[in-house]
Structure 1
Amino acid sequence: MQKNTALYLSLTLLFFLSFVPIHAQNLRPPAYPLITHDPYFSVWSTTDKLTDSPTRHWTGKPQSLEGIIRVDGKAYQFLGAVPTTYEAILPTGESHSYTAQYTLAKPDAGWEKTDFNAGSWKSGAGPFGDTPEAKTKWSISESTPSANRSNDIYIRREFTYDGKADPTKLLLSISHDDDVVIYLNGAKILDKPDYTNEYIYLPLSSAGQKALRKGKNILAVHCVSPRGGSFIDVGIVNPVTTSSVTTATQTGVTVSATQTNYTFTAGSVNVAVNFLSPLLLDELEVAARPITYVTFDVRSEDNKPHSVQVFLSESGTLATNTIGQEVVMKAGQAPGLTYQQVGTQTQSVLAKKGDNVRIDWGYAYLAVPQESGNYTAAGMATGLKQTFLKTGKLPTAANKLAPRAAVDVAIATVLDFSNVTKPTEKHLMLAYDDLYSVQYFKQNLRPWWRRDGKTTMPALLQTAEEDYVRLQKKCTTFDAKLRSDARKAGGNDYADLCVLAYRQAISAHKIVAGPKGETFFLSKENFSNGSIGTVDITYPSAPLFLLYNPTLLKGMMEPIFQYSESGRWKKPFAAHDVGTYPQANGQTYGEDMPVEECGNMLLLTGAIAGAEGNADYAKQHWKTLTTWVEYLKQYGFDPANQLCTDDFAGHIARNANLSVKAILGIAAYGQLAAQLGDKATGQSYLKMARDMAVKWQQLAVDKTPSEKPHYDLTFENSADTWSQKYNLVWDKLLALNVFPKEVPQTEIAFYLTKQKPYGLPLDSRKTYTKSDWIIWTATLAKSDRDFEALVKPVWRYANETPTRVPLSDWHETTNAKQVGFQARSVVGGYFIKMLEGKLAK
């Protein structure tokens, strides 16, 4: 396909200029976003150089994108390290099927030895446990048949070792829940307590190296699960070193709101690589497209012609939960496009739920424009790569592969730039069609982009291709404006944090069409507990969506309203969640948070009215809101011993910050009533809230004479305690005027004396913190200086944390290490300072 030369050169120049940051990026992100669309289609680089590690799903599992540029016949890797491959000496169920002998009853002495007679034991397929991955049931649950229920399991596996692999290099591949003891040929080689959430690799101990024999071997395993879930799988693997490719020299990387830009030198050419996920919230149709553009801008460094080809491959693991699941591949064409797709053979749509889980239904796509020099292929990953390294091309044989393990295969493209003498640009698209995205009370819901049931991914790719130039330009403009607006609101450090948070906050949700065609925007509690549509995740995430598109916040809240109004949820307070992602079939969290969730829903409904300038949304759900505010009237002011959104800190009674939420929730209801024309109800509830605020000050004030004035963690606490009163921010943002202005300023002055190197602790009980709440607390400050003083340590945490994962919102203020959580939507709360400017207008 030929291009108009003048247009082509102008667009190429525009693209290249987009790589020049308006504000020099000083922040080193903990992880770099590459593909960011939803909790399943989310790929990151966790190292500063794009070639220092394989690209990963946000959960940390490798989902390999590999990129190589060939310049005058010499290859340079610019994207992804080659994932380590493991030759199975004794495979785990993650990669291969196997059968083992096992018993749930305590065996006779010597059961771990090679000469033990296990003829009376059962035979079953591994792994063993009560998870979806387990092939043989082993559970401690009372609902499990007694024959498969026990705290203990004993397993024996026979295998042959040919003596070729170096024992000192061998690894145990293991996933266990809980304590495990492992024997090899009767010798104890591992005794490991607790549990793992995934497969890990451990060096084969010296005892294991000595016990390993050429020929027949027996691996014996005892696992005990006294509580919770159960799972056990153990194998032995040999890491395989593959031939390395010279790496391109990375010369820069810049993250903006919707784009991540890398620049490299490879031989005599410079190449810029741009990952664009066009999450423009003012265009819902675009934001809902699960399509990322990857653009390559190549230019000769010495102004001489150079032969250039670019290779990019996408592992089959992007379409699977585990690396051993079998996938099938297919090539296709649409008008103006050529594509490859890969997906599991079984296609168990919406069958799995959970936290550390990846999608294993639907299809990953790689598509390129049908123009000279663009090619695609699918096949064995090593074969595709080796052919390119040797020839600069892809294999030409038709794809006739039988179903293969995802880790072994890839879909790929080669973009041939021919002889580069002037700046030349090509692009491709990476996409995911999940067919159905969420199950909502047993009804499978479609992704928003295919809500008509007719639009196909090839058709969507065509639309995206036609939109490419427009979106590249609009995203670059938006990125610059977001940074500028954030900098005006809170300074450069604050702007850096907002830029880093933008794609992460959005991509921890999925935009789907509800049962009546309404917009649902469902969150996943990433590495928290995997809940879907959690109210106390919606609450901290909300500022970003209030700022850019309140329709999405309604889409976060609507399932909770519908849950109550359908009669399925029968309690007089708001539910915590609607299920475990992606199955929204009713609350699965084990405990209610009644004051927390009622306050959240009332405050956010009030915030929507503030953002939209009317209370129409509140009117739709007024009866439910009234039920919830009545609960807060009775139980909210002096909360009983219960959890709040900071549930990791444990139960607490008389929580002063939770009381603030209840008081302001009552005030928000009064404000909404007044907006709806019921002045008497409005005045009544606002007066009630203000009366409570007077009493709150009396009960919460710290009476320790040696401390700077502040308010305690809990009411009438004789000890010297304190906590961040981040919920007070809505008094300011919604102009409720419930608490005297001296209250937040007294708190701010006190907080500035309690900061640690990496932030203000959440409260006096621990030194860990939540970065979203720090930004909310900082927004209470009257002066820019105080705001920036509270934000600076958060910036330092993001810049210096040794935990290289998508931004964690729960970290240690003394050493910047992640405590828990990652890739969560709650970093959308960083935008609350910018939201203040919108609501104040």
Structure 2
Amino acid sequence: MKKTISFFAVLFFTAISLEGFAQSNVKVGGVKNELRAPAYPLINIDTYTSGWSMTDNLYDSSVKHWTGKDFPLVGALRVDGAVYRFMGTEDVPLMPIIGMGSSEEWIGSYTFQTPEKNWTSTSYDAKNWKQSKGAFGTKGESNVKTLWETEDIWVRREITLKEDYKNKKLYLKYSHDDDTEIYINGLEVVNTGNACKKNVLIEIPQNVAKTLKKGKNIITAHCKNRVGGGLLDFGINIEVPIVRHLNTTAIQKSVDVQATQTHYKFTCGNVDLDLTFMAPLLMNNLNLISRPVNYIDYTVTSNDGKTHDVAIYFEAAPNWALDEPSQLSTSTSFEKGNLAYVKTGSVSQKLLDKKSDDVRIDWGYFYLSGEKNKVKNAVGNPFELRSSFVKNGNVVLDKQAKNGNIAISESLGKVSKATSGKIMLGYDDIYSLQYFGENLRPYWNDKGNKTIETAFEEANTEYATLKSECNKFDDKLMSDAVKTGGKEYAELCVLAYRQSISAHKLVNAPNGELLFMSKENFSGGFINTVDVTYPSAPLYLYYNPELLKGMLNGIYYYSESGKWAKPYPAHDLGTYPIANGQVYGEDMPVEECGNVVILTAAIAKAEGNANYAKKHWNTLKIWAEFLSREGFDPANQLCTDDFAGHLARNTNLSMKAIVALGAYVQMANELGDKTEADKYALIAKEMVRKWMEMAKDGDHYALTFNDKGTWSQKYNLVWDKLLKLNLFPSSVYETEVKYYLTKQNEYGLPLDSRAKYTKSDWIMWTGVLSNDQSTFEKFIKPIHSFMNVTTDRVPMSDWYNTDSKKKVGFQARSVVGGYYLKMLEDKFNEKK
């Protein structure tokens, strides 16, 4: 049975007047979010269908996927024949003249042995090099035709140009993992240093472009694979000359991010436009969390007291349903029921075929939809679609197009007072995940007896009620967060809300259990990583613990089925979207064991009973025994901060083991297992005594038991406080917090004494160790400041430098759900 708590006893919305619709469409009240977000959430369905604005103004750049790849979504308003672009950009299309491995077969000469110094020159003799197809890389990397499993590879690719391109704008397109140098006709164009990116486009400098003559030329590259996957692929693109139609931009007046909505205000000549992106991710309705439909609603109002003829236009590129823009796609327009649709998808439709970090979905279909008695729908060449709208105020209907864009327009008629409308955007992924060999449909259609059109019809019918619910929810969340942690804390929480939820996918397991599976965005691409679940958990404990169970159920199943036979939990279940078992190359025994035990106790606290723990009690006994044996003085191993490297005798990891044992004791007492409770209570108490003695380092506690003169954030201690385990005395909290305040940099508290970078989720948890609001805000303000000024315009990074405006790595991860720990503390305290 689906565990759904519906908002609605009765859906009574059937029809409203245009004026009434306009009123329901406008957000009223609430506290405005003043934060200049690193990226603004627009479309948030899941980790694949994820659209963001990464500039201050919505029209300054293309809408992008969280990975940074373009997800073109263009919006324009026509006012009395003048057209104003309010969203996206009208980019010049690029055409490959030398394709990468994803679009054409190419042959390169290669060697794994360091060549002579002149290996990049056009005259170099590579007769002793091997020849094979590109791209080159390790197993599992996209479009790899030739395996490369050594540390270094050198590649030469002869290219034949059919004309002289010296006066044309050319772009090098390349994918690499890791350090890469690329040369064209012997001249260096790229030198990445330690980095890993796919399908990067850079303009080829004119001095290099001038060397590209008709006939034979040479591209050479060297790539070093430091660790993990390796990849090398490259080609050349050229600009296609076009006539732009949307040259005039609107004037953006404001943007306001709330939990489920992002509100924009524009002036378009004599008309004002209010535009809202709404993802109704209301967590006490799992059907709603899973339903893959978002909204864009709009209200236009005359700003000069006169009547104006107004029409609105939305257009999306096939990129939304492709991993790479060069893939073949097909687009279609049709009507069904009360709605008009345009959809696009890949020609190949290989279900669940790709698994990796920096990839996008290329199976299933992306849709735009509106009420058929209001909108016009069309597919085709984007410049022809735009030209039609500019000339006529609507789009010319085409039923089908290869590699075509999809568009919807609506004539709002003669406008003087507020007039509103909406479109819907959605994705039918058909199958979402593979779970131990079985392909699973999304939760909203787990039996396969619904259609995406049914989902759109439901979304359309429920819109007015959902709009009201989202407004109320957004206002309450912001208000509650302000009361809990201050305005800056609240602004970070609301920005984190959609980012965290949409980094998951909701499905039912074959045994009927809920699975809420995360993707470890830009930190490996793993699915259902335990040490990503751990920091993400507070958001879900606060709003719906069933979702946290959905994050743990697969991990418990993996152990209890015998598929994972070790006496501690796995690190992950695979690489998203394939969950067939751990793929991470190394276990994190104490880390993952402590995480699951603590979170199971937190579920018991949130629900007021230990029923979930009881279901898994035999497994928890095994894990508790492991922690009592191996947890106090951890051997050389990784913890969740694996980017910092291996560490032995880690005091924070030791603290996690101790707190986990205390949490286990609490659950044992609730279940009436006095034998277990008494046994581990004594063990935990002795561990605390030894920890305080061994970790003490003058005015603070050290990073490791044997390295004095070091320090680290003891963020794991926070669960002792929230669960009221009373393991560590208040003096430990006070000592650490006081010391941390002496170590803060401009943008926050470093993770530990080894480097100046930090993790924002852990700072949030460390701040909760304090006992007063003013101290908590001292930890929060630098995080807010960083997000407000960072030059990395991506969905919030949780790993960044405390002494610069730059992130180190990671973006768009679910771990920002950890920001809600302060709110969770208040909620737990209310349960007294």
Structure 2 residue matching 1:349: 3-state secondary structure: coil
How far 1:234 moved relative to its partner? 2.3
- 1:759-778 to 2 correspondences below 5 Å: 759-778=748-767
Aligned-partner Cα distance in 1 for 2:141–2:598: 41
Aligned-partner Cα distance in 1 for 2:71–2:412: 27
Unaligned runs of 5+ in 1: 142-148, 704-708
Do residues 754 (structure 1) and 743 (structure 2) align? yes
Distance 1:127 1:139, change over 3 A: closer
Q: 2:394 maps to which residue?
A: 393
Q: 1:144 maps to which residue?
A: none
Do residues 711 (structure 1) and 718 (structure 2) align? no
Q: 1:829 maps to which residue?
A: 818
Q: Deviations for 1:475-510, whole angstroms, at most 9, x for unmatched residues?
A: 000001101111111111111111111110101110
- 1:131-142 to 2 correspondences below 5 Å: 135=143, 137-141=145-149
How far 1:238 moved relative to its partner? 3.1
Q: 1:221 maps to which residue?
A: 220
Q: Deviations for 1:596-649, whole angstroms, at most 9, x for unmatched residues?
A: 111001000000000000000001100111110000000101111111111111
Paired AA for residue 34 in structure 1: L
Aligned-partner Cα distance in 2 for 1:108–1:775: 53
Q: TM-score, normalised by structure 2?
A: 0.93
Distance 1:414 1:570, change over 3 A: same
Do residues 63 (structure 1) and 64 (structure 2) align? no
How far 1:220 moved relative to its partner? 3.7
Aligned-partner Cα distance in 2 for 1:750–1:630: 34
Structure 2 residue matching 1:467: 3-state secondary structure: helix
Structure 2 residue matching 1:197: 3-state secondary structure: strand
Contact 2:357 2:522 in 1 (8 A): yes
Contact 1:124 1:136 in 2 (8 A): no
Q: 1:477 maps to which residue?
A: 472
Do residues 331 (structure 1) and 333 (structure 2) align? yes
Q: 1:14 maps to which residue?
A: 24
Of 107, 115, 130, 1:100 maps to: 107
Contact 2:177 2:225 in 1 (8 A): no
Q: 1:174 maps to which residue?
A: 174
Distance 1:182 1:737, change over 3 A: closer
How far 1:178 moved relative to its partner? 5.0
Of 50, 65, 68, 1:42 maps to: 50
Aligned-partner Cα distance in 2 for 1:78–1:467: 27
Aligned-partner Cα distance in 1 for 2:342–2:625: 56
Contact 1:102 1:155 in 2 (8 A): yes
Contact 2:697 2:709 in 1 (8 A): yes
Contact 2:342 2:368 in 1 (8 A): yes
How far 1:83 moved relative to its partner? 3.3
Distance 1:196 1:596, change over 3 A: closer
How far 1:675 moved relative to its partner? 0.4
Do residues 441 (structure 1) and 436 (structure 2) align? yes
Aligned-partner Cα distance in 1 for 2:682–2:129: 72
Aligned-partner Cα distance in 2 for 1:109–1:713: 46
Which deviates more, 189-198 or 241-250?
189-198
Which deviates more, 814-823 or 178-187?
178-187
Which deviates more, 301-310 or 169-178?
169-178
Q: 1:652 maps to which residue?
A: 647
Unaligned runs of 5+ in 2: 1-12
Do residues 158 (structure 1) and 148 (structure 2) align? no
How far 1:8 moved relative to its partner? 3.9
- 1:142-291 to 2 correspondences below 5 Å: 152=153, 154-163=155-164, 166=167, 169-177=169-177, 182=182, 184=184, 196-205=196-205, 208-213=208-213, 215-225=214-224, 228-239=228-239, 243=244, 244-291=246-293
How far 1:665 moved relative to its partner? 0.5
- 1:293-308 to 2 correspondences below 5 Å: 293-308=295-310
How far 1:715 moved relative to its partner? 1.2
Aligned-partner Cα distance in 2 for 1:660–1:133: 38
Q: 1:463 maps to which residue?
A: 458
Paired AA for residue 23 in structure 2: L
How far 1:267 moved relative to its partner? 1.2
Contact 2:101 2:134 in 1 (8 A): yes
Q: 1:345 maps to which residue?
A: 347
How far 1:784 moved relative to its partner? 0.9
Q: Deviations for 1:653-707, whole angstroms, at most 9, x for unmatched residues?
A: 111111111001011111101101123422332232122111111111113xxxx
Contact 2:93 2:240 in 1 (8 A): yes
Structure 2 residue matching 1:159: 3-state secondary structure: strand
- 1:519-538 to 2 correspondences below 5 Å: 519-538=514-533
Aligned-partner Cα distance in 2 for 1:119–1:720: 58
Aligned-partner Cα distance in 2 for 1:446–1:627: 33
How far 1:334 moved relative to its partner? 2.4
Q: 1:817 maps to which residue?
A: 806
- 1:494-643 to 2 correspondences below 5 Å: 494-643=489-638
Of 114, 118, 135, 1:127 maps to: 135
Distance 1:158 1:690, change over 3 A: same
Aligned-partner Cα distance in 2 for 1:261–1:189: 41
Give me the identity figure in percent.
Answer: 46
Do residues 806 (structure 1) and 805 (structure 2) align? no
Aligned-partner Cα distance in 2 for 1:735–1:109: 65
Distance 1:226 1:688, change over 3 A: closer
Q: 2:381 maps to which residue?
A: 380
Contact 1:376 1:394 in 2 (8 A): yes
Structure 1 residue matching 2:622: 3-state secondary structure: helix
Q: Deviations for 1:724-750, whole angstroms, at most 9, x for unmatched residues?
A: 111111111111011111211111111
Distance 1:279 1:58, change over 3 A: same
Contact 1:140 1:225 in 2 (8 A): no
Paired AA for residue 502 in structure 2: S
Contact 2:25 2:297 in 1 (8 A): no
Distance 1:739 1:119, change over 3 A: closer
Aligned-partner Cα distance in 1 for 2:116–2:20: 79
Contact 1:104 1:150 in 2 (8 A): no
Paired AA for residue 785 in structure 1: S
Contact 1:758 1:813 in 2 (8 A): yes
How far 1:291 moved relative to its partner? 0.8
How far 1:326 moved relative to its partner? 0.7
Distance 1:673 1:655, change over 3 A: same
Q: 1:358 maps to which residue?
A: 360
Contact 1:99 1:123 in 2 (8 A): no
Of 653, 661, 667, 2:662 maps to: 667
Which deviates more, 594-603 or 24-33?
24-33
Distance 1:699 1:183, change over 3 A: closer
Contact 2:141 2:230 in 1 (8 A): no
Structure 2 residue matching 1:274: 3-state secondary structure: strand
Distance 1:541 1:196, change over 3 A: closer
Q: 1:706 maps to which residue?
A: none
How far 1:118 moved relative to its partner? 8.4
How far 1:152 moved relative to its partner? 3.6
Structure 2 residue matching 1:573: 3-state secondary structure: coil
Contact 2:100 2:106 in 1 (8 A): no
Contact 1:182 1:219 in 2 (8 A): no
Aligned-partner Cα distance in 2 for 1:738–1:211: 71
Cα RMSD between the aligned structures? 2.4
Which deviates more, 764-773 or 610-619?
764-773
Residue-pair matches, total: 814
Distance 1:324 1:796, change over 3 A: same
Aligned-partner Cα distance in 2 for 1:241–1:274: 34
Paired AA for residue 451 in structure 2: T
Which deviates more, 603-612 or 187-196?
187-196
How far 1:119 moved relative to its partner? 9.6
Structure 2 residue matching 1:826: 3-state secondary structure: helix
Q: 2:7 maps to which residue?
A: none
How far 1:21 moved relative to its partner? 5.1
